[in-house]
A and B are shown apart, each in its own frame.
Chain A
Amino acid sequence: MTDVALTPSQTAGPYLSIGLLGGPVSNRLVDESDARAIRISGVLIDGAGEPVPDGVVEIWQANAAGRYAHPADDRDEIPLEDGFAGFGRSGTEDAGRFGFVTVKPGRVPWVDGRLQAPHLLVGVFARGLLKRVATRMYFPDEEAANAEDPVLLGLGPEERATLVARAEDGGLRFDIVLQGTGHTTFFAV
């Protein structure tokens, strides 16, 4: 079949919560009582250093064993987990704050078969963004895996530092800075 013309993006606007929050997609990928549960929180920040209260942050990840709940991941030797879809969504209405309860994903292969360090794919929509911005979050307690991660290895030290969460209050803290000093590294995916 021949290619058909793609539909262009438009901003999600300031009222995105009406359509994107409160539905079937939640920010709890696992129950808080799950012994493996981790809390991730952060603030979405603009170029003036101000919090962005009209955004949505989404994450996509493999399960704890390192398997994506998607037909393109056909590595049947790694178990899927009932009820773990690997996708979460959080609003930022509370002064730019977002948060997730999830599990640390297992390692998944890079394009050449090397293993990537545990990571989340992260997407951000907001008023003032005409299309999604995408980044990745890595884990601070995975120093050895991070040191050999093909994506982190391809970045400069300052860029890399923006992608690694830090431990805070028994959970993980991952701020997303859209613009300006210390801004997050964003990817074309």
Chain B
Amino acid sequence: MQPETAFARISETALTATDPPNDYPDYVGTRLRAPKDPLVLLPASLSELTGPVYGNDALRETDADLTRQHAGDPLGERIIVTGRVLGSDGRPLRGQLVEIWQANAAGRYHHSVDTHDAPLDPNFTGGGRCLTDDDGTYRFVTVLPGAYPWQNHPNAWRPKHIHFSLFGRAFPERLVTQMYFPGDPLFPFDPIFNSIPDERVGDRLVSTFELGLTQPEWALGFRFDIVLGGREATPTEEPHDD
């Protein structure tokens, strides 16, 4: 029984055709964690029309260059990863905090939980952050992360990826995602990449190699643009009674 003023309830698959469902059992980690009930669809009050805003003060120069956070150079292929953060109207989002984390070139995370039999790199932690400029552009220097095995199913390997965290203009636009590399042979076997219902939507997470972004004699360049817009369904959309 719902009270008279009840909000619409909406299934997560009806809410968005872009994001994967949390309820996606092929990714075993979801089974005990995905909320099972439909979501309560709230209209956007001032609480949802606002969200965190950042200034430059908290960032160090080396935060955006993951190859310069230690005494020596990390091993691996040096790469430049850059792109623009845009609103769904195509306008650049300025001064946006972009946070990334990744495995080292051998496919090992600098983290106590990662027990993969691959070497740690004393010159690579794998975390970075920067703010977007007036054009919405962010830019990181890092190394190409390695693929690595995980325990999801027999012989499971994650495609090479970099985790990205973004804020957008308001709380509903907050996004954590992963950037992949073009042509990765592991795409067909990865339940996380394939959790996105529409293959063409998943392809938005695959960066593009751009010769023009490379620095000759120094680093390869990849482009990854990010578009933030919050939910697609509006409160006027027909609710699902499941």
B residues within 8 A CB of A154? 3, 5-7, 40
Assess the A9–B177 pair: CB atoms within 8 A: yes
B24 vs chain A, min Cβ distance (A): 6
Q: Are A127 and B29 in contact (CB under 8 A)?
A: yes
B21 surroundings in chain A (CB, below 8 A): 130
Q: How far is the CA of A79 from the CA of B233 in the complex (A)?
A: 34
Task: Assess whether A18 is in contact with B109, with CB atoms less than 8 Å apart.
Answer: yes
Would A68 and B48 be within 8 Å (CB), given that A5-B204, A16-B101, A128-B27 are in contact? no
Contact of B15 among A23, A70, A127, A188 (CB under 8 A): A188
A144 to B49, CA, bound (A): 25
A111 to B48, CA, bound (A): 10
* Contact between B204 and A111, CB atoms less than 8 A apart: no
Least distance between A126 CB and chain B CB atoms (Å) = 6
The answer, among B42, B46, B176, for a CB contact under 8 Å with A108, is: B46
Given A116-B47, A121-B48, verify A156-B101 contact (CB < 8 Å). no
Interface secondary structure of B, over-half rule: loop
Looking at chain A's contact residues, is the secondary structure mostly helix, strand, loop, or mixed?
loop
Q: Which residues of A contact B120 (CB under 8 A)?
A: none
Q: Is the CB of B27 within 8 A of A11?
A: yes
Q: What are the residues of chain B within 8 A of A133 when measuring CB–CB?
A: 22, 35
CB distance B19 to A19 under 8 Å? no
Per-position contact with A for B3-33: 1 when CB-CB < 8 Å, else 0?
Answer: 1011100101001001111101001011111
Count of A interface residues, CB-CB < 8 Å? 76
Which of B50, B101, B165, B232 is A73 in contact with, Cβ under 8 Å?
A: B50
Shortest beta-carbon distance from A110 to chain B in Å = 5
State how many angstroms separate the Cβ of B74 from the closest Cβ of chain A: 14
A35 within 8 A of B: no
Q: Does B91 contact A (CB under 8 A)?
A: yes
Instruction: Give chain A interface residues in 1-56, CB to chain B under 8 Å.
Output: 1-20, 22-25, 46-48, 50, 52, 54
A23, A24, A108, A186: the one within 8 Å of B40 (CB): A186
Docked-complex contact B2 and A156, CB < 8 angstroms = yes
Partner of A7, one of B58, B109, B204: B204
Contacts of B171 in A (CB 8 A): 60, 121, 123, 134, 189
Question: Contacts A9-B177, A16-B101, A183-B37 given: A23-B163 contact, CB under 8 Å?
Answer: no
Tell me, yes or no, whether A109 is within 8 Å of chain B by CB: yes
- CB neighbours (8 Å) of A167 from chain B are none
Task: Give which listed residue, B29, B42, B51, contacts A128 with CB less than 8 A.
Answer: B29
Take A85-B53, A186-B40 as given contacts and tell me if A10 and B32 are in contact as well, using a CB distance cutoff of 8 Å: no
CA A125 to CA B177, docked complex, whole Å:
11
Other-chain contact of A189, B103, B172, B196 (Cβ < 8 Å): B172
A87 within 8 A of B: yes
Chain A residues positioned under 8 Å from B34 (CB to CB): 128-130, 178-179
Q: A6-B232, A7-B227, A9-B18 are in contact. List 9 more A-B contacts (CB 8 A).
A: A7-B228, A13-B178, A15-B163, A19-B99, A20-B101, A73-B49, A85-B54, A155-B3, A183-B36
A residues bordering B, Cβ < 8 Å?
1-20, 22-25, 46-48, 50, 52, 54, 58, 60, 62, 68-73, 85-87, 108-111, 116, 119, 121, 123, 125-134, 150-151, 153-156, 159, 178-179, 183-189
Query: What are the 9 closest A-B residue pairs judged by CB atoms, nearest first?
Result: A19-B101, A24-B58, A128-B29, A70-B50, A128-B33, A87-B52, A188-B39, A68-B50, A18-B101
**Can you report 26 residue pairs joining A to B where beta carbons are below 8 Å apart?**
A5-B18, A10-B20, A10-B178, A11-B178, A12-B176, A13-B178, A16-B163, A18-B125, A23-B99, A24-B54, A47-B32, A58-B174, A60-B50, A85-B54, A110-B45, A128-B33, A154-B5, A154-B40, A155-B40, A159-B40, A178-B34, A179-B33, A186-B35, A187-B41, A188-B42, A188-B233
